[in-house]
Amino acid sequence: DTAVSQTPKYLVTQMGNDKSIKCEQNLGHDTMYWYKQDSKKFLKIMFSYNNKELIINETVPNRFSPKSPDKAHLNLHINSLELGDSAVYFCASSPVWGSGANVLTFGAGSRLTVL
Amino acid sequence: GQNIDQPTEMTATEGAIVQINCTYQTSGFNGLFWYQQHAGEAPTFLSYNVLDGLEEKGRFSSFLSRSKGYSYLLLKELQMKDSASYLCAVIGSNYQLIWGAGTKLIIKP
């Protein structure tokens, strides 16, 4: 069974469209994250939720809106897509928040291409 | 500011040993991670160091010196499958992970 699963794996869309990426973890973890990895391979944190509560909200355009219906799910909705949004988006989860030895388990990634 | 530095790219030969360095400047320290990321795949956990010294795990070892803000990942008996990017990440005082840009390791036969 996949520990952290995200869908879709690939997403090709036109500028100006709205799209969503879904993420689910079956590890029983308390904390979930969205990361963006651009063409230079740098991992940038976007959001983090702990037990459905938003705890990290980095400087991300408000076109990006996360939603956590329960602690096993964290979805990402993007409005009015722009060319610069093209990247791989990784969902991740970790057992807790506020601990040093807090290993992240990543999903396989969702490659978003905006034309 | 907070910063993590690691070489952009390294090349090594199959069967050899390679050391990937990571230096960091962060506000607070709660541990350092190494992750491996194969091209087109997700990062996967390799090691965690919070105390000074060497942690060995099979062919891979990770070293930490907190006073120097320095860590390295040592890979022995290199195999072609070790070709990947290696990401250094530090947990700072607010328990947020600060990531390096990664070191792309190329293994040649």
Dihedral over Cα of B32, B48, A37, B38: its sign: positive
> Could you please report the per-residue DSSP string of A4-18?
EEEE-SEEEE-TT--
Q: Please answer yes or no on whether B91 and A100 come within 8 Å at the CB atom.
A: yes
Give every CB contact of residue B56 below 8 A, 6+ residues apart in sequence: none
For residue B24, the distance in angstroms to the closest alpha carbon of chain A comes to 16
Task: Give me the pLDDT at residue A73, please.
Answer: 97
CA atoms within 13 A on the CB side of A108: 8
Q: Could you give the maximum distance between any two Cα atoms of chain A, in Å?
A: 41
Q: Please answer yes or no on whether B99 and A43 come within 8 Å at the CB atom.
A: yes
Task: Give me the pLDDT at residue B58, please.
Answer: 95
Query: For chain A (length 115 residues), average pLDDT per consecutive 10?
Result: 91 97 96 92 91 87 94 96 96 89 94 97
Task: Give me the pLDDT at residue A2, please.
Answer: 72
pLDDT digits (tens, 9 = 90+) for A9-31: 999 999 999 999 999 999 999 99
- DSSP, collapsed to helix, strand or coil, labels residue A24 as strand
Asked whether A86 and A112 are in contact (CB, 8 A), the reply is yes
Q: Please answer yes or no on whether B48 and A98 come within 8 Å at the CB atom.
A: no
Structure letter (DSSP) for residue B29: -
Helices (H) and strands (E) in chain B, counts: 0, 11
For testing contact with chain B, the best of A43, A49, A90, A91 (most B CBs within 10 A): A43
Chain A positions contacting chain B at CB under 8 Å are 40-45, 56, 90, 97-109
Nearest CA in chain A to B39: A41
Using alpha carbons only, give the angle A68, A16, A32 rounded to the nearest 5 degrees: 20
Task: Give me the pLDDT at residue A97, please.
Answer: 86
> pLDDT tens, position by position, for chain B (109 residues)?
789 999 999 999 999 999 999 999 998 999 999 999 999 999 999 999 999 999 999 999 999 999 999 999 999 999 999 999 999 999 988 888 999 999 999 999 9
Nearest CA in chain A to B37: A41
For testing contact with chain B, the best of A104, A105, A110, A111 (most B CBs within 10 A): A104
Residue A19 CB coordination number (10 Å): 17
Look up residue B103 and give its two tokens: 């070191």
**Counting Cβ atoms within 10 Å, is residue A2 exposed (0-12), middle (13-18) or buried (19+)?**
exposed
Using alpha carbons only, give the angle A108, B89, B1 rounded to the nearest 5 degrees: 130
Q: How many angstroms separate the Cα of A41 from the Cα of each of A48, B15, B97?
A: 20, 27, 16
